[in-house]
Amino acid sequence: DIVMTQSPATLSVSPGERVTLSCRASQSLGSNLAWYQHKPGQAPRLLIYGASTRATGIPARFSGSGSGTEFTLTISSLQSEDFAVYYCQQYNGWHTFGGGTKVEIK
């Protein structure tokens, strides 16, 4: 199985700051990587697919980059509604998710 490792586990950030989340795969994925935002009690929300393509309706402050085994999700200026847990997911083989990064208010 492909193992996905996200870092850091928790990030304490102030509104307006730039945020960079990392996701590493145990083997090459090409660009078969997605990012999701998940808030308590809500459905997970697709942010990015194909490593760098924003999903429909996702604000431009969210961007994804990387290929192979190293990927990054960047939020250019964190808004109050962005505090959540973020997961990466590989779909180069049977789906696996990273452990998540919790973005919390500093």
Partner 1 sequence: EVQLVESGGGLVQPGRSLRLSCAASGFTFDDYTMNWVRQAPGKGLEWVSGINWNSGSMGYADSVRGRFTMSRDNAKNSLYLQMNSLRPEDTAVYYCAKAGTSGILIIGYMDVWGKGTTVTVSS
- Angle at 6 (CA atoms; ends 53, 70), nearest 5 degrees: 55
Q: Distance (Å, rounded) from C-alpha 13 to C-alpha 51? A: 24
Q: Distance (Å, rounded) from C-alpha 21 to C-alpha 10? A: 10
Q: Distance (Å, rounded) from C-alpha 16 to C-alpha 53? A: 23
Segment near partner 1 (CB under 8 A), from 13-21, 50-58, 60-68, 71-79?
Answer: 50-58
Q: Which is nearer to partner 1, 17 or 49 (CB)?
A: 49
**Between 55 and 84, how does the x/- string for binding to partner 1 read (CB under 8 A)?**
xx----------------------------
Q: Which residues bind partner 1 (CB under 8 A)?
A: 1, 34, 36, 38, 41-46, 49-50, 55-56, 85, 87, 89, 91-100
